Amino acid sequence: MRAVQTPIIPTVGKWIHEHPGTLSLAQGVVFYPPPPEALRAAEHYLQHGHHKYGAVQGTSRLRAAIAAKLRHENGMEVDGDGGRIVVTAGGNMAFLNAMFAICDEGDEVVLPLPYYFNHEMAIRMVGARPVLVPTAPDLNLDLQALRNAITARTRAVVTVSPNNPTGMVYAREQLSAVNALCRDMGIYHVSDEAYEHFTYAGSAHFSPGSLPDSAFHTISIFSLSKSFGFAAWRVGYMVLPEHLLEAVMKAQDTNLICANLLAQEAAAVVIETGTAYREERRRTLSGVREVVMRELTELGDSCRLSASTGAFYVLVRLDAEMDPLLLTQRLIREHRVAVLPGSAFGIGEGCTIRVSYGALDPDSAIAGVKRLANGIRATLHDRH
């Protein structure tokens, strides 16, 4: 555990608390609550549901709803009763379950840079080693670099699309190539798809688990935290090869026993009925994204942005020799706006920050990015 980085969210959260009035573009959550149907389902469960442990793998109703969703939206065929589906307490638990299932001490897991920090932390927690592989200059996957990183100890390659922290949406061709590489090398492809419903500007989400012959080596991870505003309810799920089910069930039973039954009942309802709700909010975030990109683009060549056609993040690289953690502190202290430093995502060079425009209502998010733009201008002026 000493080798695991300190979580950045609580650190930045402390600074925000110390500076009242700060607008946070830091944490990766959405501003909207769950759909009304979820609240009604929860109320009904409180009145009529039981309060004992449930099935480790998840309720039969929710797994059946997920199986139908995967077939309809992701092109993934699973058993009608969801036999390869495990319901988890969010996507993070699904990833940790996967690491417990496939890694022995000293094994390696390939992470494209920049990585999602909780992935890197989970790999270290199980005694494995993250192998960090740079992406291409445009932040797309570098297939040759991934291939070169694979050794006899490699157990998996991880992809996150739409991506946290860059907002990149990897093309079907890229993800198919990674999946084929993993198949040919006899390793797993862990595909984190927590932001599957957040795509803009003509980009489209693709699930590698829909590819023919992918079921044996593909672990797909999903979450309701973002799409349905379920962050506090902690519901995610994983689709895994049948031969990993026993190991994952051991990890799940030890760590959790079962995901919250009240939340599972609400999740089943929104998966069955909630498409319109999430799409309306995606359109709202698409409008916020346009303002964010415009405001940051106006900073000129000294501020380079990721393409950000997915999720609700944009990665900003500044033309300044300044520690990104110190910049984060300064933006909170002097401009009352919070971001996350790129160093938390494994970016070791330059001054890079991640901006999250999903956590605040649209007006507050736009106000926050205006504060951020002013703070960046002041920083760049001072540095020059």
Distance CA 166, CA 168 (A): 5
- Whether 353 and 255 map to the same domain: the answer is no
3-state helix, strand, coil in the chain (%, to 5): 45, 15, 40
- Asked, for residue 229, whether it belongs to a domain, the answer is yes
Q: Is residue 3 part of a domain?
A: no
204 & 321 share domain = no
- Specify if 1 maps to a domain: no
Any domain includes 210: yes
Q: Tokens 């927690």 map to which residue? A: 125
Q: Which two tokens stand for residue 297?
A: 């683009």
Cis peptide before 114 (omega within 30 of 0): yes
- pTM for the model stands at 0.94
Identify the CA nearest to 373 among candidates 347, 341, 335, 332: 335
Answer yes or no: do 191 and 118 share one domain.
yes
In the chain, the amino acid numbered 223 is S
363 shares a domain with 251: no
Are 309 and 369 within one domain?
yes
Residue 286 located in a structural domain: yes
Q: Which of 242, 237, 267, 262 is nearest to 97 (CA)?
A: 237
CB atoms under 10 Å from CB of 151, counted, come to 11
- Say if 2 falls within a structural domain: no
pLDDT tens, the chain, 384 aa long: 988 988 899 999 999 999 999 999 999 999 999 999 999 999 999 999 889 999 999 999 999 999 999 999 999 998 766 689 999 999 999 999 999 999 999 999 999 999 999 999 999 999 999 999 999 999 999 999 999 999 999 999 999 999 999 999 999 999 999 999 999 999 999 999 999 999 999 999 999 999 999 999 999 999 999 999 999 999 999 999 999 999 999 999 999 999 999 999 999 999 998 788 999 999 999 999 999 999 999 988 889 998 899 999 999 999 888 899 999 999 999 999 999 999 999 998 889 999 999 999 999 999 999 999 999 998 887 665
Domain assignment present for residue 85? The answer is yes
- Domain termination site, one of 214, 245, 273: 273
- pLDDT for position 341: 95
Amino acid letter for position 150: I
Question: Please, what is the end-to-end C-alpha distance for the chain in angstroms?
Answer: 40
Is 112 within 8 Å of 138 (Cβ atoms)? no
CATH number at 18 reads 3.90.1150.10
- Looking at the domain assignment, is residue 344 inside a domain? yes
Say if residue 208 is in the same domain as residue 253: yes
Whether 235 and 338 map to the same domain: the answer is: no
Q: Which of 236, 257, 273 is the last residue of a domain?
A: 273
In angstroms, rounded to a whole number, what is the distance separating the alpha carbons of residues 108 and 155?
6
Residues 170 and 308 in one domain: no
Same domain as 142, residue 12: no
Q: Does residue 237 share a domain with residue 374?
A: no
Output DSSP code: residue 358: S
What is the b/e burial string over 80-119, where b = at least 16 CB atoms within 10 angstroms of the residue's CB?
eebebbbbbbbbbbbbbbbbbbbbeeebbbbbbbbbbbbb
The total of structural domains in the chain comes to: 2
202 and 311 co-located in one domain: no
Domain assignment of residue 27, given as a range: 8-33+276-383
**Cβ neighbours, 10 Å, residue 366:** 18
Instruction: Note whether 211 and 285 are same-domain residues.
Output: no
**226, 255, 273 — which closes off a domain?**
273
- List phi, psi (to 5°) of 353: -130, 155
**Residue 128: CATH number of its domain:** 3.40.640.10
Structure tokens at 131: 């192998």
